Amino acid sequence: MQVTFLGQAGLYVETDHGSILCDPWFNTAFFASWFPFPSNEDVDLDAISHPDYLYVSHLHHDHFDPDFLGEQVDKRAIVLLPDYPMNHLEQELRALGFTRFVKTRNSEPVELDGLRIMIMALVAPTDGPIGDSGLAVDDGTTKLFNQNDSRPIDLEPLRAFGHFDAHFLQFSGAIWYPMVYDFPERMKQNLGHRKRQNEMARAKRYAEELGASFVFPSAGPPCFLDPDLFGFNDIDRDPANTFPDQTVFLELLADSGMDNGRLLIPGSVAAVTPGSCRVEHPGDDAVDAIFSDKLSYLRAYQQRQLPEIARRKASWPRHQIDIVSSLKAWWEPLLAQADRTCAGVNGRVLLDATDPVEGEQVVIDFLDRRVDLWKGEPCRYTFRIDRALVEACIARHDEDWVNELFLSCRFEASRDGPFNEYVYNWFKVLSPERLQYAEGWYAELGAAEELVPMDGYLVQRRCPHLKADLAQFGVVEDGVLTCRMHGWQFDLATGRCLTSDDRRLHSVKADEATDGVG
Ligand code: FES
């Protein structure tokens, strides 16, 4: 098996039974804030553009690069699709022209003409853009696990897949915390230090647990080339910086007695067989040119990319949208359905859309479930964001503001009290479908499942498909319950799903229910 590293989480895997292109990312992401580090400008794109298979682990834009996929990749590629509850990834890829899909089931191996693959799908609201995944590949001789950003909680399916020869995984931060917060500097340093250590410790733990023959740091860190953000780069191995590079993690592994870590840079080729790994870099001094004077390397990279950053910034809309009224019309109907989210936030969030001429301050009130012009009410969280970015999210009707705006790190935040997961999850579920899914998820985390009466039956409240609230979305006719969210149907007497073969509805005749039910 031969693996060409493409930068960030990008891999081009070649085997005797076909090639797999994984997470190719070549265009700046998140409002031109993230760039692949090291640069992958010199990767031979033609050589990777006609894969047999395409795997996009999830929709974050450092993994899903629609411009590259749309313009460069042969649409005959067969897409290896993770088992996500909502099919946004499939929809996006279909919109780009891909038509051939292998729909995997979570943690179940699939045979594909000599290749055996398995995708571990993670589907909590906190997993990436509601859905993150890792790919295991077995070509009959060599086994690889491309974990990238995902954090599998059950390693048994991976162990059952067999011993891995190669393990690719994320080891650095990929988030805005704590840099964007207005914490006192000393506190920020401490939090950053802890985060840096925790990220690498978790990656090391995964590497130890899986015990692959060779470990390859991948999936980050990005670099920040906009002068506004350049300070986020880890130039001098600052122990409080959350973006340590590959060399730092490999040293950590070596210091712990793990000498099986291998460095790859974009264009490096790793030939992996059971018990051996030979790495060829794209030039004799290619590694040195990046890491021996990282600041000079990044400054030169920055010079090449400044025109692209300027071009992107010029395209952001400004003063074209009334932010308060747009968000009110969009979000208030969602707030009305967001019982658990509202209870979880239990406060207000201020979106301070700043602008040198005219900003707008919007309060999202999770107590009264309204969106309005801010009148000075106390707020639990405050986000200060250039109004152009807020307008861009509104103009595109982004249903997930994390996957562009928050990951851009182009904002400042303050909060009154501890971290609240519900606040960020709210910004990922800005459609009825996504919201219902998150609400259902929270509901299932709660106590015993709630039952609701329907047509003489007590029925589980959350739809087995994507967890819509059946008290709101369910209708019964002739003993068949239809969920109006996506139209799935269930036979009330048996619980059998009439739409899909792998879900069941829990239902019991109301007059047979006992005190133990509900
Ligand atoms: S949530 Fe999709 S049919 Fe119910």
The answer to whether 221 and 244 have CB atoms below 8 angstroms apart is yes
Of the residues 466, 482, 490, which should be mutated to test ligand 1's pocket, given the most ligand atoms within 8 Å of the CB? 466
3-state SS assignment for residue 500: coil
Determine contact, residues 367/342, Cβ cutoff 8 Å.
yes
One DSSP character per residue, 115-177 reads EEEEEEEE-STTSTTT-EEEEEEE-SS-EEEEEET---S--HHHHHH---SEEEE--S--S-T
Q: Token pair 């859309």 is at which residue?
A: 353
What is d(CA 497, CA 111) in angstroms, rounded to the nearest whole number? 27
What is the 496 CA–ligand 1 centroid distance (Å)? 14
Tokens 């749309």 belong to which residue?
Answer: 70
CA of 488 to the centre of ligand 1 (A): 6
**Considering the chain, what is the average pLDDT of its residues?**
93
CA distance 472 to 466: 14
How many Å lie between the centroid of ligand 1 and the Cα of residue 268? 45
pLDDT computed for residue 249 by the predictor? 97
Spatial separation of the C-alpha atoms in residues 152 and 144, rounded to whole Å: 15
Strand order in the sheet with 348-354: 370-373, 360-365, 348-354, 381-386, 411-415
Give the contacts of 240 (CB within 8 A, at least 6 positions apart): 188, 189, 190, 192, 193, 196
The average pLDDT across 219-228 equals 96
Average pLDDT over residues 439-448: 72
% of the chain beyond a pLDDT of 70: 97
Average pLDDT over residues 399-411: 95
Residue with CA closest to ligand 1 atom 1: 466
- 452 neighbors 501 (Cβ within 8 angstroms): no
Is it the case that residue 466 has pLDDT exceeding 80? Answer: no
Q: From the alpha carbon of 467, which atom of ligand 1 is closest?
A: 1
Centroid of chain to Cα 434? 14
Q: Report the separation in Å between the CA atom of 491 and the middle of ligand 1, taken as the mean of its atom positions.
A: 14
Stretch 244-266: mean pLDDT, rounded?
97
**496: Cβ–Cβ under 8 A, 6 or more apart, which residues?**
490, 504, 505
Question: Residue 368 C-alpha to ligand 1 middle, in angstroms?
Answer: 28
Q: What is the DSSP letter of 231?
A: G
Q: Considering only CA atoms, which of 386, 321, 317, 375 is closest in space to residue 350?
A: 375
pLDDT tens figures, 311-341: 999 999 999 999 999 999 999 999 999 999 9
Residue 397 alpha carbon to ligand 1 centre in Å? 22
**Distance of CA 503 from the midpoint of ligand 1 (Å):** 11
Which helix (H) or strand (E) segment is 34 a member of?
Answer: strand 34-35
Higher pLDDT, 502 or 269: 269
Main-chain dihedrals φ then ψ at residue 166, nearest 5 degrees: -135, 135
Q: Return the pLDDT at 417.
A: 82
* Mean pLDDT of all residues in 405-410: 96
Cβ–ligand 1 distance for 465 under 6 Å, the answer yes
- Contact 483 CB / ligand 1 (< 6 Å): yes
Please give the Cα distance from 293 to 483 (Å, whole number): 59
Which whole number is the average pLDDT over 215-236? 96
Distance, CA of 66 to CA of 69 (rounded, Å): 5
Ligand 1 centroid from CA 80, angstroms: 24
pLDDT band at 509 (very low <50, low <70, confident <90, very high): confident
Residue at token pair 């986000």: 383
Does residue 137 surpass a pLDDT of 90? yes
Q: What is the pLDDT of residue 490?
A: 93
Does residue 176 come out as left (phi exceeding 0), alpha (psi in the -120 to 50 range) or beta? alpha
Q: What is the pLDDT of residue 502?
A: 63
Tell which one of 465, 498, 504 to mutate to probe ligand 1, the residue whose CB is within 8 A of the most ligand atoms: 465
Stated length of the chain: 518
Nearest CA, atom 2, ligand 1 = 486
8 A C-beta contact, residue 218 and residue 8: yes
Q: What is the pLDDT of residues 358-379, one digit of tens each?
A: 999 999 999 999 999 999 999 9
Residue 328 in contact with ligand 1 by CB distance below 6 A? no
- Report whether residue 485 contacts ligand 1, using a CB cutoff of 6 Å: yes
Report the alpha-carbon distance of residue 395 to residue 240 in Å, rounded: 36
Distance 41 CA to ligand 1 centre (A): 43
447: pLDDT strictly greater than 70: no
> Which amino acid is present at 448?
A
Find out whether the beta carbon of 488 lies less than 6 Å from any atom of ligand 1.
Answer: yes
What are the backbone dihedrals phi and psi of residue 508, each rounded to the nearest 5 degrees, phi first? -145, 145
Cα dihedral sign for 68, 71, 72, 74?
A: positive
Question: What is the per-residue pLDDT for 464?
Answer: 82
Mutation probe of ligand 1 site: the residue of 470, 488, 498 with most atoms within 8 A of C-beta: 488
443 lines ligand 1 (CB under 6 A): no
Q: What is the pLDDT at residue 518?
A: 28
Residue 385 has which token pair? 């964001």
Residue 24 CA, distance from chain mean position: 15
Provide the 10 A C-beta neighbour count for residue 397. Answer: 10
Helix-helix angle 185-210:246-255, to 10 degrees: 60
Lowest mean pLDDT among 264-268, 282-286, 353-357, 493-497: 493-497
Binned at pLDDT 50, 70 and 90, residue 446 comes out as low
Q: What b/e sequence results for 44-55 when a residue is b if at least 16 CB atoms lie within 10 Å of its CB, and e otherwise?
A: eeeebbebbbbb
Measured from the Cα of 436, ligand 1's closest atom is 1
Provide the pLDDT confidence category of residue 512 given band limits of 50, 70 and 90: low
- pTM for this entry: 0.88
pLDDT exceeds cutoff 90 at 487: no
Measure the N-to-C terminal CA separation of the chain; round to a whole number of Å. Answer: 53
Q: Is the pLDDT of residue 290 over 50?
A: yes
473 CA from centroid of ligand 1 (Å): 8
Of all atoms in ligand 1, which is nearest to the CA of residue 487?
3
Q: How far is CA 487 from CA 196, 303, 498, 508, in A?
A: 45, 52, 10, 21
pLDDT digits (tens, 9 = 90+) for 71-119: 999 999 999 999 998 899 999 999 999 999 999 999 999 999 999 999 9
Alpha-helical segments (H) within 243-372:
246-255, 286-291, 294-315, 323-336, 339-345
Question: Distance, CA 345 to ligand 1 centroid (Å)?
Answer: 25
pLDDT tens readout for residues 160-206: 999 999 999 999 988 898 999 999 999 999 999 988 998 898 899 89
